[in-house]
Protein backbone atom coordinates (compact mmCIF):
# COMPACT_ATOMS: atom_id res chain seq x y z
CA UNK A 1 0.00 0.00 0.00
CA UNK A 2 1.45 3.23 -1.07
CA UNK A 3 1.59 6.26 1.12
CA UNK A 4 -0.76 8.05 -1.26
CA UNK A 5 -3.58 5.79 -0.15
CA UNK A 6 -3.41 7.37 3.27
CA UNK A 7 -3.46 10.92 1.84
CA UNK A 8 -7.20 11.41 2.20
CA UNK A 9 -8.63 14.92 2.21
CA UNK A 10 -10.44 15.68 5.41
CA UNK A 11 -13.95 17.08 5.00
CA UNK A 12 -14.30 20.75 5.48
CA UNK A 13 -15.66 21.63 8.87
CA UNK A 14 -18.75 23.76 9.00
CA UNK A 15 -18.00 24.91 12.53
CA UNK A 16 -16.43 28.38 12.88
CA UNK A 17 -12.79 28.45 13.83
CA UNK A 18 -12.18 29.46 17.43
CA UNK A 19 -11.40 33.12 17.90
CA UNK A 20 -8.03 34.27 19.21
CA UNK A 21 -7.93 34.45 22.95
CA UNK A 22 -8.69 37.95 24.24
CA UNK A 23 -5.58 40.03 24.90
CA UNK A 24 -4.98 41.67 28.22
CA UNK A 25 -5.17 45.44 28.01
CA UNK A 26 -1.67 46.93 27.54
CA UNK A 27 -1.01 49.77 29.93
CA UNK A 28 2.49 50.66 28.74
CA UNK A 29 3.45 53.16 26.01
CA UNK A 30 2.66 51.93 22.53
CA UNK A 31 5.63 51.24 20.27
CA UNK A 32 3.69 51.45 17.04
CA UNK A 33 5.20 54.00 14.65
CA UNK A 34 1.91 55.82 14.18
CA UNK A 35 1.74 56.51 17.92
CA UNK A 36 5.25 58.04 18.13
CA UNK A 37 5.65 61.83 18.03
CA UNK A 38 6.43 63.07 14.54
CA UNK A 39 9.40 65.09 15.81
CA UNK A 40 10.95 61.96 17.33
CA UNK A 41 10.62 60.07 14.08
CA UNK A 42 12.07 62.97 12.06
CA UNK A 43 15.03 63.29 14.43
CA UNK A 44 15.76 59.59 14.23
CA UNK A 45 15.60 59.60 10.43
CA UNK A 46 17.83 62.69 10.23
CA UNK A 47 20.36 61.13 12.58
CA UNK A 48 20.49 57.95 10.51
CA UNK A 49 20.85 59.91 7.27
CA UNK A 50 23.67 62.01 8.69
CA UNK A 51 25.46 58.91 9.94
CA UNK A 52 25.19 57.23 6.56
CA UNK A 53 26.27 60.41 4.77
CA UNK A 54 29.31 60.71 7.02
CA UNK A 55 30.22 57.10 6.42
CA UNK A 56 29.97 57.55 2.66
CA UNK A 57 31.94 60.79 2.78
CA UNK A 58 34.70 59.18 4.81
CA UNK A 59 34.93 56.28 2.37
CA UNK A 60 35.08 58.61 -0.64
CA UNK A 61 37.63 60.83 1.09
CA UNK A 62 39.93 57.91 1.82
CA UNK A 63 39.51 56.76 -1.76
CA UNK A 64 40.33 60.15 -3.27
CA UNK A 65 43.03 61.25 -0.84
CA UNK A 66 46.16 60.66 -2.84
CA UNK A 67 49.57 61.81 -1.61
CA UNK A 68 49.46 64.62 -4.17
CA UNK A 69 46.04 65.82 -2.95
CA UNK A 70 47.19 65.59 0.66
CA UNK A 71 50.18 67.80 -0.14
CA UNK A 72 47.96 70.33 -1.92
CA UNK A 73 45.66 70.51 1.10
CA UNK A 74 48.65 70.94 3.38
CA UNK A 75 50.02 73.78 1.24
CA UNK A 76 46.62 75.51 1.11
CA UNK A 77 46.21 75.28 4.88
CA UNK A 78 49.69 76.68 5.38
CA UNK A 79 48.93 79.64 3.12
CA UNK A 80 45.67 80.38 4.94
CA UNK A 81 47.41 80.20 8.31
CA UNK A 82 50.19 82.50 7.17
CA UNK A 83 47.63 84.99 5.82
CA UNK A 84 45.69 84.96 9.11
CA UNK A 85 48.87 85.47 11.11
CA UNK A 86 49.72 88.48 8.96
CA UNK A 87 46.22 89.92 9.54
CA UNK A 88 46.46 89.39 13.31
CA UNK A 89 49.93 90.91 13.43
CA UNK A 90 48.81 94.00 11.54
CA UNK A 91 45.80 94.37 13.82
CA UNK A 92 48.07 94.27 16.88
CA UNK A 93 50.43 96.79 15.33
CA UNK A 94 47.53 99.12 14.48
CA UNK A 95 46.16 98.85 18.03
CA UNK A 96 49.58 99.60 19.51
CA UNK A 97 50.04 102.55 17.18
CA UNK A 98 46.59 103.91 18.09
CA UNK A 99 47.35 103.57 21.80
CA UNK A 100 50.69 105.32 21.35
CA UNK A 101 49.06 108.12 19.36
CA UNK A 102 46.38 108.52 22.01
CA UNK A 103 49.08 108.74 24.67
CA UNK A 104 50.97 111.40 22.71
CA UNK A 105 47.86 113.35 21.74
CA UNK A 106 45.11 112.70 24.28
CA UNK A 107 41.66 113.97 23.29
CA UNK A 108 40.94 117.50 24.40
CA UNK A 109 37.88 118.10 26.58
CA UNK A 110 34.85 119.51 24.83
CA UNK A 111 34.01 121.75 27.77
CA UNK A 112 36.57 123.85 29.62
CA UNK A 113 35.18 123.11 33.09
CA UNK A 114 32.18 121.78 34.99
CA UNK A 115 30.30 125.07 34.90
CA UNK A 116 30.52 125.35 31.14
CA UNK A 117 29.46 121.71 30.95
CA UNK A 118 26.37 122.47 33.01
CA UNK A 119 25.41 125.59 31.04
CA UNK A 120 25.95 124.16 27.57
CA UNK A 121 25.02 120.51 28.04
CA UNK A 122 23.71 119.14 31.33
CA UNK A 123 20.98 121.74 31.91
CA UNK A 124 19.65 121.02 28.42
CA UNK A 125 19.77 117.23 28.75
CA UNK A 126 17.98 117.16 32.11
CA UNK A 127 14.98 119.33 31.42
CA UNK A 128 12.60 118.76 34.34
CA UNK A 129 9.71 120.62 35.89
CA UNK A 130 11.22 122.15 39.02
CA UNK A 131 9.25 125.40 39.23
CA UNK A 132 5.88 124.05 40.31
CA UNK A 133 5.07 121.11 42.55
CA UNK A 134 7.26 119.41 45.10
CA UNK A 135 8.28 116.20 43.35
CA UNK A 136 11.71 117.52 42.39
CA UNK A 137 13.83 120.04 44.25
CA UNK A 138 16.22 122.46 42.62
CA UNK A 139 18.22 125.53 43.52
CA UNK A 140 18.95 128.35 41.10
CA UNK A 141 22.24 128.87 42.95
CA UNK A 142 23.21 125.21 42.75
CA UNK A 143 26.91 126.13 42.57
CA UNK A 144 26.70 127.26 46.22
CA UNK A 145 26.09 123.64 47.31
CA UNK A 146 29.19 121.51 47.77
CA UNK A 147 27.36 118.29 46.85
CA UNK A 148 25.91 119.74 43.67
CA UNK A 149 29.31 121.05 42.54
CA UNK A 150 30.87 117.66 43.20
CA UNK A 151 28.11 115.89 41.25
CA UNK A 152 28.36 118.19 38.24
CA UNK A 153 32.13 117.84 38.16
CA UNK A 154 31.86 114.05 38.35
CA UNK A 155 29.36 114.05 35.50
CA UNK A 156 31.56 116.34 33.41
CA UNK A 157 34.67 114.22 33.88
CA UNK A 158 32.90 110.92 33.26
CA UNK A 159 31.21 112.33 30.15
CA UNK A 160 34.50 113.56 28.69
CA UNK A 161 35.97 110.10 29.26
CA UNK A 162 33.08 107.96 28.04
CA UNK A 163 32.21 110.08 24.99
CA UNK A 164 35.33 108.70 23.29
CA UNK A 165 33.81 105.20 23.39
CA UNK A 166 31.98 104.90 20.05
CA UNK A 167 29.96 101.92 21.25
CA UNK A 168 28.12 102.12 24.55
CA UNK A 169 30.03 104.96 26.17
CA UNK A 170 27.21 107.49 26.23
CA UNK A 171 24.69 104.85 27.26
CA UNK A 172 26.86 103.88 30.22
CA UNK A 173 27.31 107.53 31.16
CA UNK A 174 23.57 108.21 31.05
CA UNK A 175 22.44 105.08 32.89
CA UNK A 176 25.22 104.49 35.41
CA UNK A 177 26.37 108.05 36.09
CA UNK A 178 24.01 110.85 35.10
CA UNK A 179 20.64 109.31 35.98
CA UNK A 180 21.89 108.19 39.37
CA UNK A 181 23.53 111.48 40.38
CA UNK A 182 20.83 113.76 39.00
CA UNK A 183 18.06 111.83 40.74
CA UNK A 184 19.97 112.30 43.99
CA UNK A 185 20.09 116.07 43.40
CA UNK A 186 16.39 116.17 42.47
CA UNK A 187 15.42 114.32 45.67
CA UNK A 188 13.13 116.50 47.77
CA UNK A 189 15.01 115.36 50.89
CA UNK A 190 18.43 115.97 49.37
CA UNK A 191 20.83 118.86 49.21
CA UNK A 192 18.13 121.24 47.84
CA UNK A 193 15.55 120.31 50.49
CA UNK A 194 15.13 123.94 51.68
CA UNK A 195 15.67 125.52 48.28
CA UNK A 196 13.14 126.22 45.58
CA UNK A 197 13.01 128.10 42.31
CA UNK A 198 10.32 130.37 43.75
CA UNK A 199 11.72 130.96 47.23
CA UNK A 200 15.43 130.99 46.53
CA UNK A 201 18.54 129.44 48.02
CA UNK A 202 18.86 128.10 51.55
CA UNK A 203 21.97 126.18 52.45
CA UNK A 204 21.54 123.19 54.75
CA UNK A 205 23.77 122.91 57.80
CA UNK A 206 26.64 120.41 57.62
CA UNK A 207 26.07 117.01 59.18
CA UNK A 208 26.44 117.43 62.95
CA UNK A 209 29.43 115.79 64.56
CA UNK A 210 31.33 115.95 67.77
CA UNK A 211 34.87 117.30 67.39
CA UNK A 212 37.06 114.62 65.86
CA UNK A 213 40.07 113.91 68.07
CA UNK A 214 43.38 115.15 66.72
CA UNK A 215 44.76 111.61 66.87
CA UNK A 216 42.11 110.47 64.41
CA UNK A 217 42.57 113.42 62.08
CA UNK A 218 46.29 112.68 62.02
CA UNK A 219 45.81 108.98 61.24
CA UNK A 220 48.62 107.55 59.10
CA UNK A 221 47.42 105.65 56.04
CA UNK A 222 49.65 102.80 54.88
CA UNK A 223 48.13 102.65 51.41
CA UNK A 224 47.05 106.18 50.37
CA UNK A 225 44.96 106.58 47.21
CA UNK A 226 47.90 108.31 45.51
CA UNK A 227 51.62 108.50 46.07
CA UNK A 228 52.55 111.17 48.55
CA UNK A 229 53.79 114.39 46.99
CA UNK A 230 57.00 116.09 47.98
CA UNK A 231 56.79 119.01 50.41
CA UNK A 232 57.78 121.42 47.65
CA UNK A 233 54.90 120.21 45.48
CA UNK A 234 51.78 120.08 47.59
CA UNK A 235 48.87 118.04 46.30
CA UNK A 236 46.38 120.03 44.30
CA UNK A 237 42.76 119.31 43.58
CA UNK A 238 40.50 120.62 40.87
CA UNK A 239 37.44 120.43 43.10
CA UNK A 240 36.54 124.03 43.72
CA UNK A 241 34.72 124.87 46.91
CA UNK A 242 31.38 126.52 46.17
CA UNK A 243 30.95 130.11 47.09
CA UNK A 244 29.10 130.54 50.36
CA UNK A 245 25.95 132.59 50.34
**Per-residue model confidence as pLDDT tens digits over 139-166:** 999 999 999 999 999 999 999 999 999 8
pLDDT in tens, 44-64: 999 999 999 999 998 888 888
* 191 neighbors 148 (Cβ within 8 angstroms): yes
CA distance 148 to 240: 11
76 vs 233 pLDDT, higher one: 76
CA distance 209 to 206: 9
Indicate whether 235 pLDDT > 80.
no
Q: What is the pLDDT of residue 91?
A: 92
Indicate whether 3 pLDDT > 50.
no
Indicate whether 201 pLDDT > 70.
yes
CA distance 245 to 239: 18
- The 3 state secondary structure assigned to the chain is CCHHHHCCCCCCCCCCCCCCCCCCCCCCCCCCHHHCCHHHHHHHHHHHHHHHHHHHHHHHHHHHCCHHHHHHHHHHHHHHHHHHHHHHHHHHHHHHHHHHHHHHCCCCCCCCCHHHHHHHHHHHHCCCCCCCCCCCCCCCCHHHCHHHHHHHHHHHHHHHHHCCCCCCHHHHHHHHHHHHHHHHHHCCCCCCCCCECCCECCCCCCCCCCCCCHHHHCCCCCCCCCCCCCCCCCCCCCCCCCCCC
Q: What is the pLDDT of residue 8?
A: 44
Cα dihedral: 145, 150, 151, 157 (round 10): 150
Q: What is the pLDDT of residue 34?
A: 63
Q: What is the pLDDT of residue 36?
A: 73
Q: What is the pLDDT of residue 63?
A: 85
CA distance 228 to 235: 8
239 vs 119 pLDDT, higher one: 119
Indicate whether 205 pLDDT > 60.
yes
**What average pLDDT does the segment 176-189 reach?**
96
Q: What is the pLDDT of residue 64?
A: 83
pLDDT averaged over the chain?
82
Radius of gyration (C-alpha) of the chain in whole angstroms = 43
1 vs 162 pLDDT, higher one: 162
Highest-confidence segment of 110-119, 208-217, 222-231:
110-119
**What average pLDDT does the segment 89-109 reach?**
86
Indicate whether 17 pLDDT > 60.
no
Confidence of residue 5 (pLDDT cuts 50, 70, 90): very low
Amino acid sequence: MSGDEFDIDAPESTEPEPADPPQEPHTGASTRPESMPREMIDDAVDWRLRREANRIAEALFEERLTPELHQQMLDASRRRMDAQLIIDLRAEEDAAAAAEEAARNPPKPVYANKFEFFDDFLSDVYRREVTTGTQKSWCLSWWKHTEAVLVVEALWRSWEKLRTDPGTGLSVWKKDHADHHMNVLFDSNGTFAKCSVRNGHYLLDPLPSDPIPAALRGEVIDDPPFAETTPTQPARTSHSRPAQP
